[in-house]
Structure formats: structure tokens, C-alpha cells
Amino acid sequence: MIAYLLPMLGVWLLLTVLYLWMVMPRMWNRPGKEPFMGVLYAHRGLFDHSAGIPENSLAAFRRAVDAGYGIELDVQLTADGVPVVFHDGTLARMARGESTKEKGSVAERPKEGASSSDVPETPEVSGRVLDYTLKELRRFHLLDSEEKIPTFEEVLNLVDGRVPLIVELKAETLDFSLCEKVDALLREYGKKGIYCIESFQPLFVCWFRFRHPEVFRGQLSTSFQDPASQIGARIFHFFVKHLLCNFLTRPDFIAYNYRCRNNLSRRLCRAWFSSTAVAWTIRSEKDLEDNRAFFDLFIFDSFLPKGGPHG
């Protein structure tokens, strides 16, 4: 019996050590986290759609800065390679075109047989951000506001170092020029402001690990409740969910969906390895209070925290 159990125990120990090595965050030469502590982060700016202040708009970022909140925002590339601030991979939810009654463009023209009354004044825009050049995107506005999709540079100029930034790199494609262009802007911005980067795509985080290890970097994750249809995507989601790509990225912080806070790998990173834990996205005062014991930093939207930006 002992001769049978010893090899099994050895295998179990080996797998445990391998697992811990894979999920371990950066342990040495970590950048200081102190500049990011003690402030709440407005998700996509301090937006309020009902008040005509769309998410990821200059108005939302200005409102957050004026109130003293840190900012979390999303960056991706246009067709001509300009970093812009926009969350979704597709434009339909947030972008609106000019009135079809005025412009009558092919993209905005009503379907054959539809009457003019069937045409919305501000129709949804089809396609992805990366399908359009910056000039083409400028034709659209965010929801029914006058706000346009801002460039990342415009947002940096507006914030001007007044509040810390959490910059998410959107991985609509595996285009490392996004990392290069965002980094170029941030390195200049870093002379006056505090920032960190994060992504669901481990290879983007890995890029910063080896190119600019001085940057405070984070791995984004969640439980991925919606099953992916392709086996490759399922494997990717499994590895990211359980932080099994940390051996590539060695992140300084883990930004995790707060509803999935009991994930073993996430808990180990904070409890055993003292990694900074970031919660997204808190949407009520109750959820904020209920999660204070489990996370260090909080990204929020849809309410104003009672304690203000430092609450």
C-alpha cells in the first residue's frame, strides 16, 4: 500500500508546486502600489447615460477628474492604428450615426420597403472599431449626446496627471502595436501622472513584463460564465479564469470580477503572495462594503460612493 501511495503523493506534490508556480504573481522588484491606493476608480469615467454623459467620453472623464476619482478606461486601435478609448469590440451599443434623413448614406439607409418613419434619428452603427479610421469614427457620436469617441491622447491631455489611471488594453486582435502605441503615450504621460495597465490578454501583459517591467501591470479575469463555442477559446478562458498564465505575465495585481471572488487562484494570489486585488465592477454601496475585506482597490459605476473618491 505504501509503495502505491508514495508515487501518488509525489505526483500530487509535483502538481501542487507546478500550480503554485504558474499562478504566482511578481514577487520581486515590484513597483510601489501606494500611488494607486486610497482612491476609488470610476469605470469608464464617471458616466451617467440618463444625464447625457456617456461612458468613455471626455465628459465622463472630466466629471471623474473634477470629483477626484481615479479612472479605469479601455483602449483599442482604429483601422489606421490610432489608440481610441472605447470598450466594446462592436459599435452598435454605444455609437450612433448622423440622422439618416439628413445624410442618407449607404450604411445608414433604411432597408428596402421601410418608410421614412421607420428610420431612427440617430441609428446604431454597425461594425467594429477596427473597421473604421479615426476620421470615419468622428462622424459618429456616443448615444444621443454630442460626445465623440475620444482618442487616448485626448483623454491623457484632459486628465493631465490629476488622478491615477487604470488602462485596459482591449484584445480584439492580437496586435502588439496596441501595446507599443499605448506605451509610447504613457511613457510621456508618466512624467506628470500615475498609471497602470491591465488586460484579459496575457500576452499583452507579458509584453509589458519584458519591455517595461517598471510599469505596474495587472491580469484581468472573471469566471467566463458564457461558454465559448470553440475549443481553443474554452481552453483560453480556463487558463485566464484560473490565472494559469501568471507564469508568463507575473502581474502586480489581479483585477477580478467581484462576483467570482472565491476563485482559488485569485485568493491565493492575495493571501499567499500578497498581490494587490482589484474588484470590478462594483455597482452599489452594499457591494462596496461587502467586498472591502476581499479586495484592495475598487472599480465602480452606476452610483456615487457615500465616502466620495477616497471612501
Other CB atoms within a 10 A radius of the CB of residue 148 amount to: 18
How far is Cα 146 from Cα 140, in angstroms, rounded to an integer? Answer: 9
> Does any domain span residue 27?
no
pLDDT band, very low/low/confident/very high, at 225 (cuts 50, 70, 90)? confident
Give Cα separations from 4 to 9, 14, 18, 156, 212 (angstroms).
9, 16, 22, 62, 48
The reported pLDDT for the residue numbered 218 is: 99
- Section 278-304 average pLDDT: 98
Task: Give the single-character DSSP code of 150.
Answer: P
Residues in Cβ contact with 190 at an 8 Å cutoff, skipping those fewer than 6 apart = none
174 residue type, one letter: L
Q: Is 299 helix (H, G, I), strand (E, B) or coil?
A: strand
Is the pLDDT at 226 greater than 90? The verdict is no
Looking at the structure of the chain, the number of domains it has is: 1
> Does any domain span residue 16?
no
> Does any domain span residue 248?
yes
- Section 11-38 average pLDDT: 96
Range of the domain at 226: 36-90+148-310
Contact 216, 259 (CB under 8 A): no
The residues facing 124 across adjacent strands are: 96
Is the pLDDT at 119 greater than 50? The verdict is no
Contact 84, 172 (CB under 8 A): no
The gap from C-alpha 48 to its chain's centroid, in whole angstroms, comes to 19
Q: What is the CATH number of the domain that holds 76?
A: 3.20.20.190
Is the pLDDT at 176 greater than 90? The verdict is yes
> Does any domain span residue 184?
yes
What proportion of the chain, given as a percentage, has pLDDT over 90?
Answer: 84
Q: Which of 285, 282, 287, 286 is nearest to 301 (CA)?
A: 282
> Does any domain span residue 23?
no
Is the pLDDT at 69 greater than 60? The verdict is yes
> Does any domain span residue 44?
yes
How far is Cα 58 from Cα 199, in angstroms, rounded to an integer? Answer: 22
How far is Cα 99 from Cα 121, in angstroms, rounded to an integer? Answer: 5
> Does any domain span residue 177?
yes
Comparing 5-14, 156-165, 174-183, 263-272, the range with the smallest average pLDDT is 5-14
- Section 229-240 average pLDDT: 90
How far is Cα 245 from Cα 235, in angstroms, rounded to an integer? Answer: 12
Give Cα separations from 81 to 49, 182, 209 (angstroms).
28, 11, 23
The string of pLDDT tens digits covering residues 267-289 is 999 999 999 999 999 999 999 99
> Does any domain span residue 95?
no
| DSSP symbols for 180-228 | HHHHHHHHHHTTT--EEEEES-HHHHHHHHHH-TTS-EEEEE----S--
CA 176, 182, 185, 186 dihedral sign is negative
Comparing 101-105, 191-195, 299-303, the range with the smallest average pLDDT is 101-105
